[in-house]
């Protein structure tokens, strides 16, 4: 089980295959990162969330911030998702669940009385030094992208 992650702690290192390449935490040194975990490509909530980040991408870029999504879907699934919705940021395929495990997003869930393991929708804002600045757990998609963007702006102001 992952150790408890809290703001101010060093973000767990990650590395994984994406629709284009491979990315790791160290690739983003000197930039803020919005690392968001989502359950599944091409599902309603995950699509709304991904398209929200896509649409706000220019505003995140102006704030020296990169967006990276993570799910357990395959690279092939990510490629279709990216193409269908014109997503222009990396989606990491974490099929083995190592990144989900290190960020504590692989959790027990309940739906209609059924218990199962799945990805908790969660977002981690990682600062330019590789430390966790803020964590959102059990994310509700509505207004989430704007909340994250506001947090990035506050983070950048506090670092000036």
Report, as residue numbers or ranges, the catalytic residues: 46
Q: Indicate if the alpha-carbon torsion angle 124, 127, 128, 129 is positive or negative.
A: negative
Dihedral (Cα; 110, 107, 149, 89), 10-degree rounding: -110
Residue 156, token pair as written in the block:
């950048």
Q: Which of 60, 70, 57, 61 is nearest to 11 (CA)?
A: 70
Where do runs of H (alpha helix) occur along 41-139?
44-62, 75-85, 98-102
Give the span between the Cα atoms of 77 and 132, in whole angstroms.
29
What gap in Å lies between CA 133 and CA 50, rounded to an integer?
Answer: 21
* CA–CA separation, 2 and 132 (whole Å): 15
């Amino acid at each position: 089980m992952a150790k408890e992650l809290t703001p101010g702690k060093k973000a767990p290192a990650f590395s994984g295959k994406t629709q284009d390449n491979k990315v790791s935490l160290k690739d983003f040194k000197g930039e803020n990162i919005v690392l968001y975990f989502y359950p599944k490509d091409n599902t309603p909530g995950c699509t709304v969330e991904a398209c929200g980040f896509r649409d706000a991408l220019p505003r995140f870029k102006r704030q020296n911030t990169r967006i990276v999504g993570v799910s357990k879907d395959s690279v092939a699934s990510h490629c279709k998702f990216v193409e269908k919705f014109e997503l222009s940021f990396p989606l990491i395929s974490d099929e083995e669940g190592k990144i989900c495990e290190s960020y504590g997003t692989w959790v027990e869930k309940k739906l209609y009385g059924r218990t199962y393991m799945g990805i908790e929708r969660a977002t981690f804002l990682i600062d330019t030094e590789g430390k966790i600045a803020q964590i959102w757990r059990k994310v509700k998609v509505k207004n989430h992208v704007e909340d994250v963007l506001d947090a990035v702006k506050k983070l950048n102001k506090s670092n000036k």
